[in-house]
């Protein structure tokens, strides 16, 4: 279903949520917003037949964003988001680069802490097709820890 924003604007007007917001005439916004058009342009359909996790830390997603146009106070240009599929818990780590050494060091820290706190073993890691995951450092860690790596189909978000 396309989100037009009309419901939100209507709520802002009827519930007097925004001071000075006066709309006269017909309230309708047609079509998709620019973000929806760009965000779904290359999307492939998902198959919902997969079974859902039954406990925390069975399946986590990792993604990296960057480079930023502006460095953080600690000189980071990237950030890594890790999300647990069962609980939707998310954590963000800032990175100075997205090299194998940097990303693996940050992930190892997360992995150790998460297993210690939850007393659950991580089973599956979902990654995009980025080059930072295809290297001997990540391959060795994946085999050493017995992790199952699952890679996203190209051109999906």
The owner of tokens 């007393």 is 119
Report CA-CA distances (Å) from 9 to 20, 25, 26, 81.
Answer: 13, 13, 12, 31
Nearest-angstrom CA–CA distance, 157 and 57: 21
Instruction: For residues 116 and 61, give the distance between their C-alpha atoms in angstroms, rounded to a whole number.
Output: 19
**pLDDT tens digits in sequence order for the chain, 157 residues long:** 444 455 666 677 777 777 776 766 666 655 666 666 666 655 544 555 455 778 898 999 999 999 999 999 999 999 999 999 888 899 999 999 999 999 999 999 999 999 999 999 999 999 887 778 888 899 999 999 999 998 887 666 5
Give the CATH class of 59-151: alpha beta
Specify the domain boundaries for CATH 3.30.420.10 within the chain: 59-151
Residues found in the chain? 157
């Amino acid at each position: 279903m396309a989100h037009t924003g009309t419901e939100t604007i209507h709520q802002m007007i009827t519930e007097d949520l925004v001071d000075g917001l006066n709309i006269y005439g017909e309230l309708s916004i047609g079509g998709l917003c620019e973000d929806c058009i760009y965000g779904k342009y290359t999307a492939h359909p998902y198959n919902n037949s997969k079974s859902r996790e039954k406990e925390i830390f069975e399946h986590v997603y990792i993604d990296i964003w960057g480079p930023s146009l502006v460095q953080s106070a600690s000189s980071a240009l990237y950030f890594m988001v890790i999300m647990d599929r069962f609980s939707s818990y998310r954590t963000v780590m800032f990175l100075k680069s997205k090299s194998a050494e940097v990303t693996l060091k940050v992930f190892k820290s997360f992995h150790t802490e998460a297993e210690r706190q939850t007393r659950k073993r991580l089973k599956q890691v979902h990654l995009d097709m980025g080059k930072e995951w295809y290297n001997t450092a990540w391959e060795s860690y994946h085999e050493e820890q017995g992790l199952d790596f699952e890679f996203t189909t190209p051109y999906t978000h």
